[in-house]
């Protein structure tokens, strides 16, 4: 998603004015083909499937999620096999252990409280999946799956289900929804308060979805906008455009990590509020 505007696009605009908006949209939106870095004329078509009117096509962002999943399975599978082998931890294993312990102790256990460890696996999966999706989007030729609202919406739906599961597991179906209303309220406030809290059940994961999508989309648009200055202003803009693009690129490393942490932390907080409501 952050690769420079493809040379074939620049050539395509040679006869007319360069269209930065079209170039940016080409790189951030999903597509049914893969482009090979530095070889824009080479494109790999992806299968398009429609089952009973439902689009089940394989797209570029789907491929990116497969790549992220494969990397996570390989890395954690390799690290897991070495945990009990007596090997001295290397840098990769040490770094992963620090992040795993931090998510378990400082996020899950503090936000959820008793019974937090049963949700650690889900929170770790969420954190590392979002983190790797964010960071791979900064690699030329790759794209950011979390810059797709459908992807972040799917993550938010899973978070919503986990939040409800935590409350239902702890109290049962009916008492879980009864806990939405604080005890001791006047009778005339019960129904309005239940309506507000019921709506907030859906607003919370929706906010997670939009926050992640907007932050990842915005950063890549800014990077591509600076790079587009080279095609608009010519050689005079190269030093300035490259400097600011690299600056935003480095900033995106921080933002990508921070957004993965925020999504995970807020999800853990919502699970804790569902499993242990304060009445």
Q: Which domain holds residue 96?
A: 7-275
pLDDT value, residue 40: 66
Give the pair of three-digit tokens for residue 231.
């095609």
pLDDT value, residue 13: 44
The neighbouring-strand residues paired with 45 are 33
pLDDT value, residue 141: 75
Within a domain: 2: no
Within a domain: 124: yes
pLDDT value, residue 267: 95
Within a domain: 158: yes
Within a domain: 231: yes
Q: How many domains does the chain have?
A: 1
pLDDT value, residue 14: 43
d(CA 267, CA 111) in angstroms, rounded, equals: 9
pLDDT, one tens digit per residue, over 57-87 is 888 899 999 999 999 999 988 887 877 666 6
Within a domain: 1: no
Contacts of 176 (CB under 8 A, 6+ apart): 164, 167, 168, 170, 274
pLDDT value, residue 24: 66
Regions of the chain short of the pLDDT cut 50:
1-15
Q: What is the CA radius of gyration of the chain?
A: 23
pLDDT value, residue 4: 43
Within a domain: 108: yes
Within a domain: 173: yes
Within a domain: 191: yes
Give the pair of three-digit tokens for residue 22.
């079209």
Could you tell me the end-to-end alpha-carbon distance of the chain, in angstroms, rounded to an integer? Answer: 46
d(CA 146, CA 96) in angstroms, rounded, equals: 22
């Amino acid at each position: 998603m952050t690769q420079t505007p493809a040379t074939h696009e620049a050539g395509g605009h040679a006869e007319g004015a360069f269209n930065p908006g079209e170039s940016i949209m080409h790189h951030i939106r999903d597509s049914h083909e893969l482009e090979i870095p530095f070889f824009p004329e080479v494109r790999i078509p992806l299968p398009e499937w429609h089952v009973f009117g439902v689009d089940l096509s394989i797209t570029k962002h789907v491929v990116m999620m497969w790549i992220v999943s494969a990397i996570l399975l390989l890395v954690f599978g390799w690290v897991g096999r070495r945990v009990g082998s007596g090997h001295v931890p290397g840098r990769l294993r040490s770094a992963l252990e620090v992040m795993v312990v931090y998510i378990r102790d400082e996020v899950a256990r503090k936000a959820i409280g008793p019974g937090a460890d049963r949700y650690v696996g889900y929170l770790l999966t969420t954190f590392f999946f979002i983190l790797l999706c964010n960071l791979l989007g900064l690699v030329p030729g790759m794209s950011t799956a979390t810059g797709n609202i459908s992807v972040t919406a799917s993550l938010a739906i899973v978070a919503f289900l986990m939040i409800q599961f935590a409350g239902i597991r702890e109290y049962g179906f009916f008492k879980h929804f009864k806990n939405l209303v604080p005890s001791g309220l006047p009778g005339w406030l019960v129904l309005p308060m239940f309506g507000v809290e019921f709506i907030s059940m859906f607003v919370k994961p929706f906010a997670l979805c939009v926050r992640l999508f907007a932050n990842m989309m915005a950063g890549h648009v800014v990077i591509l906008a600076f790079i587009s200055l080279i095609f608009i202003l010519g050689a005079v803009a190269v030093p300035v455009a490259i400097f600011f693009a690299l600056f935003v690129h480095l900033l995106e490393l921080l933002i990508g990590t921070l957004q993965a942490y925020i999504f995970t932390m807020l999800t853990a907080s919502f699970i804790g509020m569902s499993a242990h409501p304060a009445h």
